[in-house]
Structure 1
Amino acid sequence: MMEKVSIIMAVYNCEKTISRAIDSVLNQTYTDWVMIICDDGSCDGTFGIMKSYEEKYPEKFVLIKNDKNRKLPYSLNQCLRYVKTDLIARMDGDDWCQPTRLEKQVKFLEEHPDIDLVGTGVTVSDGKSRIASIIKTTMPTKETMLYSNAFSHATIMTYKRVYDALGGYSLDPAVLRVEDVDLWCRFLAAGYKGYNLQEELYVILEDINAVKRRTFKARLNSARTRCRGYHLMGYKGVVCYKPYFLIFRAFIPTGIYKILHKWKLKYSKKN
């Protein structure tokens, strides 16, 4: 069996969901883990809830608290500073894991030493029932990033050596909200190999209000990040600038975008 797994999580105002997220880790069939959680300046009861878990299971939790809201990339890098294990898994504070998630990912990496990262399929939930599935390409390549996203970020398990070699998450403001896209482009450009289990071992809570955060600036960041990532992976020409054409979706009225987003989740089985 490999050494203990570190689960890194950055949270902000998750008092309504953090207990379910943590409980799903406590209920894992694989028990050789430690959870490193960074509170990113929450102004609700999130940190107090996390503190209660740390007091009950002191050997299982490492808590970090930012002095102010510093966003996801910074907070995840803070978590990485405390990692002392070979393996690192990701998770978000409003999602939860199926009981066998860690066990199956650890086993896969043990049995496939040529693979550097493994993600899983995702169930999209409204909090009560399944509303969609997200199943990524089994073995993503550089080409995958031209039309999709290689991995569902919160589902991944990879090696500390990979994060170390890539320098963790970029703090460039231009990758904010697309820090995973930046990471996958750098991961694939460096020659690392990843795999997506086709089983839905992770559940995300769909927040339809998240469409409000898909602003023009966020889409511009996405286009810039993809353009730069495509160049890094060796692509040239028009294909590198295609993401800029998607910016115009930011001008779709929020009400219409919500309807389209719900339709996409309901009818799209592959992503």
Structure 2
Amino acid sequence: MNEIVLLIPHFNNPLGLIASLMSIGSTEKIDVIIVDDGSTKHGIDEIATRNAFTANGKLVFIYLDINKGIEHALNKGLEYISKNIEYKFVARLDCGDLCTGKRFEIQEIFLKENPEIKLVGSNVVAVNTKGVFLYNINMPINDKEIKNKMYFNSMLIHPTIMFSSEILATIGHYPINHKYAEDYAFFFAIIKKYKVANINQYLLQIEINENGISLSGRRQQVKSRINIIKGNFYFGYYPIYGLLRNYILLYTPYKLILFLKKKLNNEISN
């Protein structure tokens, strides 16, 4: 058993799962927990999936009887991980997203060399579903800036993170009452108790599916973020600006948001 365990939720995307596993370097030492969230059309081909995984570790498959949502799949995986105390670090990855370089080794070294940091993410390269480059996403690096700007939006990109498993004893699992924003709520719980960081490297390529969440889903996501901000509110610039920003996003067409995001991130990258 390795010290690192990777948690991947799956729903009707076996090809994306295989691509993600193939992107993990063969020298990485990592176990992988795959939780199928009651796939209804395209289930997991375990043989093909095992063949795609060349790293030094084992694959564990967990199946939910019905589709309950990603937060339930993630928590099922965390339940398994919590019972295996040998795991010191928990990483995340989503089907279709691709690791670059020695991502997990880099993050493990960072956490071991900076024991006061309990969770670390990274910068990412964003592509569309055809693999065409969209933009780079550069995240704030230090704990203070991340915590301040978390009131605007998540300053930790979910599939890039690795965290110390010890925090699960105090943080618990993903909240299930913040639909489409379970990661945002999870991160807020973490930053209230621990220091976090981002590594200034592009350790992941994420896939942006412009049609991945319905319009009603996007609105629910923003509403959930607003409720999370309110739940962590204090009277100051960052929470006030964050609330106003998210109320504006609530009524802004998503196509316009995507256009502005591409333009802003490309300008920053250049």
Q: TM-score range by the shorter chain?
A: 0.7 to 0.9
- Is 1:146 the equivalent of 2:144? no
Matched residue pairs, number? Answer: 257
User: Which region of structure 1 is more displaced relative to structure 2, 102-111 or 126-135?
Assistant: 126-135
Is the Cα contact below 8 Å between 1:15 and 1:44 reproduced in 2? Answer: no
Q: 2:88 is matched with which residue?
A: 86
Q: 2:165 is matched with which residue?
A: 160
Is the Cα contact below 8 Å between 2:152 and 2:246 reproduced in 1? Answer: no
Alignment partners' CA distance in 1, 2:69 and 2:229: 20
Q: 2:72 is matched with which residue?
A: 74
Q: 1:16 is matched with which residue?
A: 15
Structure 2: gaps of 5 or more residues? none
Deviation at 1:3, TM superposition (A): 4.8
Q: 2:36 is matched with which residue?
A: 39
Alignment partners' CA distance in 2, 1:210 and 1:55: 28
Deviation at 1:24, TM superposition (A): 1.1
- What letter is aligned with 1:8? L
- Is 1:203 the equivalent of 2:216? no
Distance 1:78 1:259, change over 3 A: same
Distance 1:250 1:39, change over 3 A: same
Alignment partners' CA distance in 1, 2:221 and 2:155: 19
Is the Cα contact below 8 Å between 1:150 and 1:184 reproduced in 2? Answer: no
Alignment partners' CA distance in 2, 1:56 and 1:98: 16
Residue 120 of structure 2 aligns to a residue whose secondary structure is strand
Distance 1:221 1:18, change over 3 A: same
Alignment partners' CA distance in 1, 2:265 and 2:57: 41
User: Which region of structure 1 is more displaced relative to structure 2, 112-121 or 258-267?
Assistant: 258-267
Distance 1:211 1:171, change over 3 A: closer
Deviation at 1:53, TM superposition (A): 2.7
- What letter is aligned with 1:63? F
1:107-155 superposed Cα distances (whole Å, 9 cap, x missing partner): 1112111211111111001233322111111013332212232311110
Alignment partners' CA distance in 2, 1:160 and 1:182: 18
Is the Cα contact below 8 Å between 2:18 and 2:52 reproduced in 1? Answer: no
- Is 1:53 the equivalent of 2:52? no
TM-score w.r.t. structure 2 length? 0.85
Is the Cα contact below 8 Å between 1:211 and 1:258 reproduced in 2? Answer: no
Q: 1:243 is matched with which residue?
A: 243
Is the Cα contact below 8 Å between 2:121 and 2:198 reproduced in 1? Answer: yes
Distance 1:56 1:237, change over 3 A: closer
Alignment partners' CA distance in 1, 2:95 and 2:265: 25
The sequence identity of aligned pairs, in percent, is 23
Alignment partners' CA distance in 2, 1:158 and 1:194: 9
- What letter is aligned with 2:37? D
User: Which region of structure 1 is more displaced relative to structure 2, 195-204 or 77-86?
Assistant: 77-86
Q: 1:264 is matched with which residue?
A: 261
TM-score w.r.t. structure 1 length? 0.84
Distance 1:54 1:82, change over 3 A: farther
Distance 1:189 1:22, change over 3 A: same
Alignment partners' CA distance in 2, 1:108 and 1:89: 13
